Structure formats: structure tokens, C-alpha cells
Amino acid sequence: MFGSEIVFSLLQTIINMIVFILICNRIYPFIIHWSSYRRKVIIGFLFGIASLISLKFPIVAQKGILVNLNDVLAGMSGFLGGPIAGAITFTMAASYRAMLGGIGAVAGIGVMLVAAFIGALLHLYMRGKGFPSMRRLWMPVMFGVIIAIDSFAWTLLFPVRVRLELLHDYAIPFFTLYPLSAVVFYYLMAEEWYSLLHKRNTSLSFQTVQARLERQAAKGRPFSLVVMNIDQFKAVNEMYGFSFGDELLEEVRKRLNALLPEQGWSARINGDEYLLSLPIADRKDALQWLENAKKELTSPYTVKPDGKLVHLSFSTGLALSENNEIPVEELLRQADMALKDAKTRGLNMISPYEQRMTERLKQRTLLEEELRFALERKQLSLHFQPQFELKSGKLKGFEALLRWHHPELGAVSPDEFIPIAEETGLIVPIGQWVLRSACETMQRILPLCPSSTIGVNISALQLIPEQFPDMVLETAMLTGLPLDRLELELTESELMTSLDSAQEQLTRLSEAGVRLALDDFGVGYSSLNYLRKLPFHRVKIDRSFIQDIGTSKDDELAEAIIRLVRQLHLDVVAEGLESYDQLMRLQEWGCDIAQGYLLGRPMPESELHAFIARNTTSFSEA
């Protein structure tokens, strides 16, 4: 049997496997909340059953030599479920293949063993490296080719004549259909199961939680309802892979349960979202408990087996059931509305429900809808705030600041629309436009101030794709801007969940010549850790330290931060400079660069030429 008959038979086997997998996918939601270990066991058994079905419909190449998809199934089991799943599938399939016997039994078992082993190795490798979208496209194809090579390598056990016939009849079908079947099995199982795990589990778990809340409310005792969401958890999954994310969620669950008061309980209701019931009737006491709990929940997580250190923050909504007059459904709505309010205020915020939130939510929904069209409708623009060297008083560069002017809503504050852009993912296309526009502007004004730089703010979501450094370098090349004139600014909060990925991305950019700045220094969790691991050139001190100069006891802290950064041989930039007293103190402390309303407000490009002409001499000379 060869040619079209072989292809038809293998395709028929693939179709049988697809039907089986689709049936399994309907069952899987019922065990979606099991531990990671149990899910891997299930993957192993399901692929094992699929292997047994495949062996029921083999292609007989020679007496005792069977051609089927067991090799791919064993490999994909190890690939998707790791060593545990691969071992289970191999044991089931190999046992049945040994029972069938024939001259091809040893080779068939050997192929499955090697395929499962390679799949498990790739699973462990991808667990540590993450699994971005491009790898999800070509990795299954490559894996199918490897299994095809593995299959033909074992034909060395056969007589020469049999081996040559197998190569002649099966080489093209194997190297075509094995990669195809690997892709099909991967997308049918991995993609859909991960989708179920992180998106579709809401209704099932939510119904269970709602029933429990209704039983609790029926007892007539007041309680606090909390909905807690991990900020930017999607970035963790994209960078490190879903298995890593599962382990991290398990660590969060353990910490959360250890913190719960007696008679309190928690449930994960939507992938990265938790619902908590607290036996606390007073709002002030509930807020105090949440503040204390967050200190523990935001401490760094070390996820095994790779030992990666991850920082998390949580947006939290709170609603109180003070009596039986509020239905559980309404209480859940209030907590969810409070959570959305917390997200609009930034990362790691807590919001108790208030009546006014209904209007604020309507306003936010309107902004989100309008923001989706702001870029194509050319409502976005850039303003540029100047930066001056304090020692010489010379103009050293500009920071590009995004502005949104809506024809009906007017000027919308960046504090309002930037969080919405990040939450919806719109920050990625908007960020690309900002980078390109800022580079084009800087290239036009560079002849007037050749030693200046342009600072562009970067979101953590932009750092996720592996192609981000290439995109930055290509943008600079297309606009003609020298790389050392471009400075990318990142805040500590942006780096909290992406330190390992950011280190690789930013190192590539730094080695290419792009300058890097750590923004809002001093208000994050582990600033010195970022300075130690990431290749920054500048540190921008948060404006809160600058604005209190001369009016607060924090002067010594601001001075200490400046001296510390200078000892690390990094430039220090002070943001929010507004008075001459602040200017004199910063010069005295050795601060390198400053920006603020005292030196210049953000301005459109149309005003830059005149501003640069007025500031060709230093402000100290003027």
C-alpha cells in the first residue's frame, strides 16, 4: 500500500482522533479546577485511550509492521502534559503494541518511547522559556518532523529490503501528515483546554459560588464580599506559559487561604480572579483586613521548578452584605463594579462599592468604546516636555507625552485612558504609533539640538512579543533617527510581572544603542533589583519626592536617592520641578537633569522650533 491509499488511511485515522478529542473536550470542563498534577494525569490517559483507538485501525505495511499515529500521540502527550502524561500514554500504547507482537513491535515501542521522551523534554524547556504565539505556530510542525525522523530511524532494525520499501512507500506521507497531525492535536487539545482553563470556566464555578453565597446569606449574618483580580496576569501567561501561570495561581491560592479569618472562604472564579467571603460586617474593618492581606499577597513569589521570582499586584472590589435586603446577585454586581473602579485607579488598588460608581462605570465604558477608534480618527497627538541639564543649563531632550482630544468629550486625561488602553490591549497599536511619531518628530528637530534625546514611555504589554526589539530598531531605521537619540522609559509597576522577559528584551535594545530609563523610581517594590538586573542608563525620580522639597522632612530621602543612583554611575532625572527652591536643592545634591513646569510645559511639535531657538543658550546664562 502506498501513495494515495496511505495518505487516505492516515487522514482517516486523524479524523477518528479528532472526533475522539472533541468528545473529550466536552468532558474536560468538569475537571478544569483540579490540580495541575491531576490534569497532567488526565492528559496522559486521554492520549493513551486515543493511542488504543489508533491501534484498532492500523495500516499494515508488512507482516508484523503497523503504521499508525501512536508515535505522534505519545510525543504530543509528553509535549502537552510533561513527563507524567508522556509516561502514562507510552505505558498504555506500548503494552497493547507488545501484545499485538510482530517483527515491528520492538521498533514501534522504541519510536513511542523516544517520541514521549522528546515531548517531555520540550515541555520542560517551554515551561521555563514561555510559549509566545509564534512558537505555538511552528513548534508543533517541527515536533511532527522530529517524530517522522524518529520513526524512520528505527527501521534500521528491519531487513534492508523491508526498510527500503518502507522509505519508498511512507517517507512522503509521514513527513507530510505527521506534522499536520501534530498541529491538529495541539490546537484541538492545548489551545482549547487552555481557553477552557482561563476563559470558559466562569459560568460553572460562578454558579457554584453563587449558590454557596445564597446559602450563607440565608443564615442572616452580615459578611463582606470581595472580588480580587491579579493585575496584568495575561502578561505572565504570555511570557512564561500557562503551566507556569497555573503554578503561580496555586501559590496565590495557598497564601490567600492561609490569610482567611475563621469562617471565611475563597474561590477562584475566572482564571486570575478570586472571590472572598469574609465574616466582617464593618467596612473599615474589611478594608483594614484587605490592606494587611495585600502585604502578604504582593510579596515576591518563587515558582518551582525554575525558581523564577515574580511580583504580583491585585485590584480589589469590596461590597458589604449588612442585612438580608440585598440579593446575592446584586451584591456580586456591586463587588464587580467596585473591582472595575479599582482598575481605573491604577494597579494594586482597593475600592469599596459606592453608589456613584454606576455613573463612573458608564463613563469608563464610553471612553473604552471611543478609544478603539481614536487612533484611526486621528484624535491622538503627542506633546513634548523639555529636559534640561542642571549643571550647564543646556537643553538635553524631550519626553513624548500622549494626549487625546475627543471632539465631544474634550481633552481626556491620560490617567483616565491609559489604564483602559492597557486593560484592553489597545496600548500595543497605540504604543507603536507613539514610538513612530516621536522618532519622526525628533528626526525633524535633531539638526537644531543634535545632542538631545527623545523619551518614549513603554508599557509592559509591549514588551511581551519577542519581536518588540526588532520593531523598535526597525522604527528608528525607517525614521532615520540614530539609536542613541531614542530613550525608552519603563515604570517599576510595568516591570513587576515581567522582569525575566524584560531583561532579555531590554538587553538587546541596549546593546543596539537604545537608551533606557527607569521611570517613577522610589515608589515601587524593589527598585534596586531592577537597577541591578536591567541595563538602564537613567533613573527618573518620582515627582512626589521632588514636589515636597523644602516643605517636608523627606528632603533627606530625596537627597539620599540622588546620591545612591549617582554612585551606580547612572544619570538622575528629576520630574515635576516647579520652583526655584527645588531647582537649587537639586543642583546642590548633584542631580543631572530635570523636567517640570518651571523649565517648560508639554507642547505640540508646532511650538518646538521656537522653544529650541529661545533655549540655544543655557537657562543659567539667560
**Residue with the three cell numbers 473604552:** 368
Q: How far apart are CA 232 and CA 501, in angstroms?
A: 14
User: Which residue has cell 530635570?
Assistant: 594
Query: How confident is the model at residue 286, as a pLDDT?
Result: 93
CA atoms in the 13 A half-sphere facing the CB of 528: 6
Per-residue pLDDT at 86 exceeds 80? yes
Does position 271 have pLDDT exceeding 70, yes or no?
yes
pLDDT digits (tens, 9 = 90+) for 401-426: 999 999 999 999 998 899 889 888 89
- pLDDT beyond 90 at 112: no
358's grid cell:
454606576
Q: State yes or no: pLDDT of 196 exceeds 60.
A: no
> Helices (H), strands (E): how many in the chain?
24, 18
Digit-coded pLDDT (tens) for 15-46: 766 777 666 666 555 554 455 667 778 878 88
pLDDT of residue 126: 65
Count CB-CB contacts under 10 A for residue 205.
19
**CA 457, CA 435: separation in Å to the nearest integer?**
9
Q: Which pLDDT score, from 0 to 100, does residue 493 have?
A: 67
Please give the pLDDT value at position 248: 85
How much is the pLDDT for 28? 57
Length of the chain: 622
| Residue 555, pLDDT above cutoff 70 | yes
Distance of CA 292 to the CA centre of its chain: 26
**89: confidence class by pLDDT, cuts 50, 70, 90:** confident
In this predicted structure, the answer to whether residue 484 has a pLDDT above a threshold of 90 is yes
Q: Which of 274-278, 481-485, 524-528 has the lowest mean pLDDT?
A: 524-528
pLDDT at 94: 85
Rounded to whole angstroms, the Cα distance separating 482 from 6 reads: 58
150, pLDDT greater than 70:
yes
- Cross-strand partners of 488: 456, 516
pLDDT interval class at 75 (50, 70, 90)? confident
For position 127, what pLDDT does the model report? Answer: 58
pLDDT at 204 over 50: no
> Average pLDDT of the chain?
82
Which phi and psi angles does 361 have, rounded to 5°?
Answer: -65, -40
Q: pLDDT by residue (tens digit) across 373-394?
A: 999 999 999 999 999 999 889 9
Going along 74-232, which residue ranges are E strands?
A: 223-230
| pLDDT for 203 | 38
Amino acid sitting at position 336: D
